[in-house]
Amino acid sequence: MKRFPNLPTQPQLTSEAFYKNGMEVLEGFELFRESMSVLGRPIRAYVRGKGGIRVLIWTQMHGDESASTFAVVDFLHDLQQNTTDRIWDKVTLCVVPILNPDGAAAYTRYNGLGVDLNRDARHLTSPESAFLVSLATDFKPHWAFNMHDQRTIFAAGDTNNPATLALLAPSMSETYTGSVMHRKRAIALIGSAVSQLPKPFYSNIARFDDAFYPLAMGDFFQEKGIATVLVEVGGSENIIRHSGRTLAARFLKEALMVILNPSAQVWHSAPGTYESLPPNTNRLRDIIFANANIDHHIVDVAVQLRYNPIREAWDMVCDTVGKIDYYEAYIRIELADSPSLNSRQWRFSIGETFELPSEWETFWKEQNFASYQWVYSS
């Protein structure tokens, strides 16, 4: 699937950038509903089609999760390029490109009030949450796709393969007494769509944690009788998530095709396919500096990369120090021959950014690693 060329992948995508460069993918759509965020930015829902099957997609409920928005952009671009107008006689598609524009502008999970919109489904303390629930009430979707990015720490099951795509049919509470048919349909849809993907993708697809979160939007929608699918774009060999963007877009395409052209044979085997997806497991770290000599003690240092929108570069965040034989890494830097650092030279704080000790510079440069100076590229 080709990426939409006007929006090169990058960690941060603001609503202003989308409306300036991405509106081409919404050609043929009409503005269905509009509201304002806490800080006065527009939130918009666009609709196309006149079919009886209603599908709702929203992205960037968390402002710093842009890869899922890029995936939806590519999905819409592919619909334009590779389908006929007859598809719109079957489906009515509603898209909310960026639900949390204030969080996107600040590059944070939260909205302008500091609220996590994905924990605001029942109380609706924020206008963004109220907008989505009101939209669903009026649009009455049969299917909903809740688009997110997940952390790069997750692998697919007991392997070291990154969970580039994680999928879930959200659960209902143990006290729920209504029909569960719509969740079964979501399970079948996920299994059906995955079975249509090329086999090489399978090793990087996982199942998201199915614990019930009463305040989460997907769980709330599921309890309201809307067959809801959670899509999480995860890590891959490229920190910019090109692979995740493409895989999620391809999944959306296959899911829509299954919805519009159901096959009894595919649906029959689909639940088994879903259940066989390996769970997300916390097995990966972005970088491990192995066998560092600190005060003549040999330790490993696991590091996560965190995008800094001000510098447009990646900060290094210290995650774990010790002998780390229970994690694998996207990048492993061997420091067995590095000089010993004393405690005055070694400065770090777990969960805070830090710079590499200068004594390690030769070792990471030899492995063509640009450390915290990495700048995003398209």
Residues 358, 233, single domain; the answer is no
- Domain, as residue range, for 49: 15-282
- CB of 38 within 8 A of CB of 24? no
pLDDT in tens, 273-308: 999 999 999 999 999 999 999 988 999 999 999 999
β-partners of residue 316 are 305
Residues 300, 168, single domain; the answer is no
Residues 268, 327, single domain; the answer is no
Residues 361, 308, single domain; the answer is yes
Mark out the alpha helices in 28-90 (DSSP H runs): 67-82
From 282, 314, 329, the end of a domain falls on 282
Q: pTM for the complete prediction?
A: 0.95
Residues 295, 184, single domain; the answer is no
The Cβ-side half-sphere exposure at 133, using a 13 Å CA radius, reads 24
Measured CA to CA in angstroms, residue 368 lies from 112, 191, 303, 362 at distances of 39, 40, 17, 10
- CB of 222 within 8 A of CB of 143? no
CA dihedral in degrees (266, 270, 273, 277; nearest 10)?
Answer: 130
Answer whether residue 9 is part of any domain.
no
Give the span between the Cα atoms of 164 and 149, in whole angstroms.
10
Which pLDDT value is given to residue 359?
85
Instruction: Provide the number of structural domains found in the chain.
Output: 2
Residues 110, 34, single domain; the answer is yes
pLDDT in tens, the chain (378 residues): 899 999 988 899 999 999 999 999 999 999 999 999 999 999 999 999 999 999 999 999 999 999 999 999 999 999 999 988 899 999 999 999 999 999 999 999 999 999 999 999 999 999 999 999 999 999 999 999 999 999 999 999 999 999 999 999 999 888 888 889 999 999 999 999 999 999 999 999 999 999 999 999 999 999 999 999 999 999 998 888 999 999 999 999 999 999 998 876 566 678 899 999 999 999 999 999 999 999 889 999 999 999 999 988 888 899 999 999 999 999 899 999 988 998 777 777 788 888 788 888 788 777 666 544 455 544
